[in-house]
Structure 1
Amino acid sequence: MSVADDKKAVVLLSGGLDSATILALARKEGFQCHALSFDYGQRHKGELKAAAAVAAAGGAHEHRVATLGVGFIGGSALTDLGLSVPQAPTTGIPVTYVPARNTVFLAVALGWAEVLGAHDLFIGVNAVDYSGYPDCRPEYLAAFETLANLATKAGVEGGRFHIRAPLLHLTKAEIIRAGLGLGVDYGLTLSCYAPNDAGQACGACDACRLRAKGFAEAGVPDPAIAI
């Protein structure tokens, strides 16, 4: 695939199926993809290994892991080992919500994009089959895009940043079908919030349930699950 030298994008890459799909979509659009993952004190660090595999298989120009010590603030079952990851559906915003996570991630990605001369930031948020996190909504993304263009040298000098969320209004099944059409290997991905020491998904957390629902509705088996 031909990629223009000046067509660069920063792609937030968690190692899950959504971020693997947006990497493929960004590549399809001809972007030189600079993939960015975060070690933020999450209990499911296996996603970083998955992210590296996805970046390599997906043709990322480079893949970097930023270490952010935000786990100390607690408040989330993903960073506080004193809180349990729910194994059944809950009401309201679940305890797996990490305070301001996407805002922090996008801020770091924005800084890197400005240095790279990239104007597009891809994030795999979804407002259809998701856990109800407030930083996955279209109005949040619009607000951050406005901030990005107000708060940066590139923005005030006439550049224009775009927060790209191509999966925002898709179901998990639609996301999976789109990724398969682009050759995404979902066997490399990890979505689970509480995998075991061998990196195997628990199958019961919210992320696992949404993933299973998506593959079932797409009518294809999940290649990450050993038969």
Structure 2
Amino acid sequence: MRNEKAVVVFSGGQDSTTCLLWALKQFKEVATVTFDYGQRHSYEIECAREIAEEIGVSFHVLDMKLINQLSANALTRSDIEVKEGENGELPSTFVPGRNHLFLSFAAVYAQSIGARHIITGVCETDFSGYPDCRDVFVKSLNVTLNLAMEEQFVIHTPLMWLNKAETWKLADDLGALSFIREKTLTCYEGIRGDGCGKCPACKLRKQGLDSYLAQKQGGGSL
């Protein structure tokens, strides 16, 4: 695959940055595409831009603010509280159709630059119950995109079956543990690095990091 081109769906967060570094090991040329969907912290886009520039890959932003016209959620509305799902309900941070739209537009962008591979950091192991993070969804959409566009896209999900500790291990294996810990933005409160430590995203990130570091220090395996 080193002679092929790839597009990474990129947010500047832990998962997508890990996927970007993974892609650079797999493909000869890698581009990133970031989406401006009116997220409550526009700093996320600047963070992604800075990381892309530092790593030396192309950076492209697509305007997807139309999502805000269709649903209200905590990622696009500052007046909605960030809450984990209760009693089988989805978290308030779920943006309906987001990954469906992002991957579809990423495919259009990939076609425009002659890329066949699309990489996304969705994960079914440590996720918040988002239906569009599931493996079955990604595989289904992959087939649909190929039929709709007469292409042979391959959607890669390097983190699909990894928990957060294993994602940190992958970052370490890629020689980028400190880089991802310090440079990325995962926090729902818009705080780079280790974040606020209180929101669901920060808690999951910290639990994974603590677990991985404990295993590493103890000489165990994940």
TM-score for both structures, normalised by structure 1: 0.85
Residue 6 of structure 2 contacts residue 27 of structure 2 at CA under 8 Å; is this kept in 1? no
> How far apart, CA to CA, are the structure 2 residues paired with 1:115 and 1:211?
35
**Larger fraction in helix:** 2
What are structure 2's unaligned runs of at least 5 residues?
A: 215-222
Give the % identical residues: 38
> Which 4+ runs in 1 deviate beyond 2 A?
56-59, 72-75, 88-92, 198-202
Aligned to 1:225: none
> How far apart, CA to CA, are the structure 2 residues paired with 1:200 and 1:81?
21
1:146-205 residue CA offsets vs partner (Å, 9 max, x unmatched): 1111100x42xxxx1111101100011111111122122111101011236x99832211
Letter in 2 for 1:66: L
Aligned to 1:191: 186
> How far apart, CA to CA, are the structure 2 residues paired with 1:211 and 1:57?
23
What are structure 1's unaligned runs of at least 5 residues?
A: 221-227
Q: Which has the higher contact order (CA 8 A, sep 6+)?
A: 1
- CA RMSD, 1 decimal: 2.1
Between 1:69-78 and 1:115-124, the stretch displaced more is 69-78
Could you say what secondary structure the match of 1:115 adopts?
helix
Give the superposition deviation at 1:58: 3.0
Residue 174 of structure 1 contacts residue 218 of structure 1 at CA under 8 Å; is this kept in 2? yes
Aligned to 1:135: 132
Residue 23 of structure 1 contacts residue 58 of structure 1 at CA under 8 Å; is this kept in 2? no
How many pairs were matched up?
A: 209
Residue 12 of structure 2 contacts residue 44 of structure 2 at CA under 8 Å; is this kept in 1? yes
TM-score for both structures, normalised by structure 2: 0.87
Asked whether 1:216 is paired with 2:210, we answer: yes
Aligned to 1:147: 144
